[in-house]
Amino acid sequence: MIRHGSSHGFAVLICTIIAAVLIDLLRPHFPGILERMTELSNWIVDYIPIPFSSEQFNVIVVASILAIIWGVFFKISLRKNDFL
């Protein structure tokens, strides 16, 4: 059970850091995509009154996507260990 909880904790921490860095790195190369993400984030933040700016919400969305990918690979790695 500890392994399961620590995986989620590390996923949140690492994915949040990577998401913030990734957004900053991609901003000069893909300004259109990030502009659309910011527009969508503005709409969501305005529609659902949450105490985040659109930039913070962008990081949350990208971190969530990265955490989902992390979880899929983690689950696959556990399945491989179960068959050995």
* Cα gap 39→33, rounded to integer Å: 10
What is the torsional sign of CA 63, 23, 37, 39?
A: positive
Give 44-83 pLDDT, tens digit per residue.
Answer: 888 988 888 888 889 998 998 888 888 888 788 877 666 5
Q: Is the pTM of this model over 0.85?
A: no
Q: Which two tokens stand for residue 47?
A: 């529609």
Give 3-13 pLDDT, tens digit per residue.
Answer: 667 767 777 88
Taking alpha carbons only, the member of 63, 51, 53 closest to residue 20 is 63
- At which residue do the structure tokens 């998401």 appear? 19
Give 21-46 pLDDT, tens digit per residue.
Answer: 999 998 899 989 889 988 998 898 88
- For 63, counting Cβ atoms within 10 Å of its Cβ (0-12 exposed, 13-18 middle, 19+ buried), the class is buried
